[in-house]
Structure 1
Amino acid sequence: MDKINLLVLVTVISLFISLFLAFFLFTFKAKHKISNTLFAIFLIITAIDVSDPLINLSVNGPSNLGMLKNTIAFLQIPVFYLYVLSVCYSDFKLKLKHIIHLLPFLIVNLILLPRFYTVDVASKIDFILNRQNMVELQFNHILFHIQIVVYFAAVFILLRKAKKLYLENYAGTNIDSYYWLFQFTSVLTILYLIVIVKNIFKFSEYPHISEWIKIGILIFQMFITCWYLYKALNNPGLFRNIDSKLKLVSDLILEEKKGGQTMEKEGSNEELFKLQQYMVDEKPFLNPALTIQDVSGAIRIPVRNLSVLINHTLDQHFYDFVNTYRINEAMDILKDDTKNKVTILEILYEVGFNSKSSFNTAFKKHTGTTPTSYRKLLKNSDL
């Protein structure tokens, strides 16, 4: 099979997978519909971007529609950024201010107006044949590469902040979604770095290398799309969000310092005793979806004070603070001879976890060993 046929075949398969998943996301009834819609749009834009081999079979010569199709790549990463934003924050809504993400796409098309969009076919052909010397195309490629760096940096910063906010305010196992989003973004970053390499060869003396890299990109993209589909179908509850109005404790402390306010030590001690007593007596940690707002309402300490108390005074994330009680409860069960037939899976659900991986990670962090190994050690010590 020659290079052209292979490229067409891979393109067809890639388009089918992307459009099928996009259709699924558009029609799937989910609580957070906007996230699914944004990712579906991302897939459609990606499908349009990689459809060159098929379009070249049916269209002879350059056209305005063909150039517009090429520039639509400037919408890919902005849409992905908005998707991540929608996954991270439950109250995310598309607003008028988000139109700013269209600017790169609009700028590149405005630049192409004088010497491509508004000229005859012969001039268009000459423009493409001399593309290596065309300032407009060089500018567009530089802008595209800058866009890649800026947006992916913004996504990683966003994920870092969202993860920290989650740890400071929630104690569920949905932290896994941020780990997965980080992995997914990292893989996409690698893909776009390969795209940059492809573009470098495209404008070099070795354009044929660019074509082979393009085949590799299409195959890589298929695997990424299938990975996303597999993850989404097997973990329908993975993508749950946090409130964007929440503030990091470091920001709360900074606000207090600027306002000349400090928490009184005596008041902090009283609140700390109240919190610890509540955790021991009421065992709210058994609720797998426990949030700092739940605890705040129960013991009547403002969320702001409670957040500073746990995350700053105790120097623990709320997530770790709650998991400490869950692990202690699990250890008590494991030590109980009357419950030696209770499985590890049953224990993790009983103490407030709903993920085996999260339970094992928290248990090992707290005790230095796994739940299974801990149970064996207890049995051996009794012999």
Structure 2
Amino acid sequence: MDKMNLLSIVTVLSLFISFFLAFFLLTVKTANKTSNRIFACFLLISAIDTSEPLISQFTDGPSNLGIFRTTLAFLQIPTFYLYVLSVCYYDFKWKPEYLVHLIPFLVVNLAFVPRFYAVDLDSKINFIINRQNMIELKFIHWLFHFQISIYFTAVFILLRKVKKLYLENNSGGKSNSYNWLFQFASILTALYLIVILKNIFKFSDYPYISDWIKFGILALQPFIICWYLYKALNNPGLFRNIDSKLKLVSDLILEEKNIEPETLNEDLSKLKKYMAAEKPFLNPALTIQDIANAIDVPVRELSVLVNHQLGQHFYDFVNTYRIENAMEILKDQSKSKVTILEILYEVGFNSKSSFNTAFKKHTGNTPTEYRKIL
């Protein structure tokens, strides 16, 4: 089996998986239709972009449609960025300003008009033969590399901000859900860096290396997509926890006037009394808004108090009370047969991993170790 046949087989498998998953996302009944549609678009665009080894066997030469297909690569990363936005913010909606993400794609296609789209077949062939000297292709490749850098930087900044917002406003154990979206973004970043390497070899004296890298990318792509969708479909409630109108405490501090020390002390006293008497931390879905409403303190003021003045994220602040409660249960000899799993749910955690992590951070031991040394 020669290299071209092997490349075609891998391409067919990759396309089948991508189109099948895109069809599934577009037809499955779910409350998160927007996110699914955006990711389906990402899959379809990526599939069309990587279909060149297969399409080249059915075409005799360069065509406008063929070049247009390659320019779809400029829609891949913007689509992924919008997908990340849609899964992080539960109030995500389409906005006219999102059309700005089409600009690189439109610019690239306009650049091809004079010497490719608007010329005859012979001129197109000459353009491809002399592609290493064509300023349009050099410009497009540099623009693509620049786009990758900008968008993936924006994705990682967004994920960092959203995770911090979650920790500042929620007490649930879903903050780790952002970790594997970060992992997926990291894998995609590495994949696109390999694409950049492929493009460098494509315009060098070693174009055959570019073909082997292309083969590797096609082989990896379906595995990466299947891994991500497996995680996402098995954890449908992990994301969409953040209101896009929320602000980081660091921004609130800049906007707020200095709060009087007397007010801070009064609010802190209210907060501690409420936490001790009512034990709201037993609610695994507790938010800072819930407590603000209960003690009649503005949520912005309470957020600054907990996340800035006390030097803790709201997430860690609430978990401290949960761990203290769990420690009391573990010390109680009459409850020695209560399992760790039962304890973690009783004190307000909703996952064993988050409970173990918080417990060890607070005590230096896991719950099991702590029980043994008592």
Measure how far apart 1:173 and its partner are.
Answer: 1.5
Over residues 54-95 of structure 1, what are the superposed CA-to-partner deviations in whole Å (9 max), with x where a residue is unaligned?
111211111111110000000000011111111111111111
Secondary structure in 2 aligned to 1:112? helix
Whole-angstrom CA distance in 1 between matches of 2:33 and 2:326: 37
Aligned-partner SS, 2:285: coil
TM-fit CA distance, 1:233: 2.5
CA drift at 1:372: 1.4
TM-score computed with the length of structure 2 as normaliser: 0.98
Note the C-alpha offset of 1:223.
1.7
Structure 2: gaps (5+ residues): none
1:350 aligned residue: 346
Correspondences of 1:162-177 after superposition (within 5 Å) = 162-177=162-177
Percent identity between matched residues is 72
Tell me which of 299, 304, 309 is aligned to 1:303.
Answer: 299
Partner of 2:363: 367
Say yes or no: does 1:233 pair with 2:248. no
Give 1:20-169 correspondences, 5 Å limit: 20-169=20-169
Alpha-carbon deviations, 1:165-188, whole Å to 9, x = none?
111111111212211111111111
Question: Equivalent residues in 2 for 1:202-221 (5 A)?
Answer: 202-221=202-221
Cα drift, residue 28 of structure 1: 2.2
Q: What's the counterpart of residue 267 of structure 1?
A: 263
User: 1:14 aligned to 2:18?
Assistant: no
Q: Distance in 1 between matches of 2:339 and 2:28?
A: 36
Q: Distance in 2 between matches of 1:39 and 1:295?
A: 36
- Structure 1 unaligned segments of length 5 or more: list them: 379-383
Is the contact between residue 167 and residue 317 of structure 1 (CA under 8 Å) also seen in structure 2? yes
Other-structure match for 2:283: 287
Q: Give the count of matched residue pairs.
A: 374
CA RMSD of aligned residues (A): 1.1
CA deviations over 1:150-170 (Å, ceiling 9, x no partner): 111111111111111111111
Give TM-score scaled by structure 1 length: 0.96
Asked if the contact 2:86/2:240 (under 8 Å) is kept, the reply is no
Shift >6 Å, 4+ stretches = none
What is aligned with 1:381? none
Question: How far apart, in 1, do the equivalents of 2:326 and 2:218 lie?
Answer: 47
Is 1:192 matched with 2:171?
no
- The whole-number CA distance in structure 1 between the counterparts of 2:280 and 2:111 is 60
| Paired residues of 1:177 and 1:240 also in contact (CA < 8 A) | no
Q: Which segment is superposed worse, 134-143 or 21-30? A: 21-30
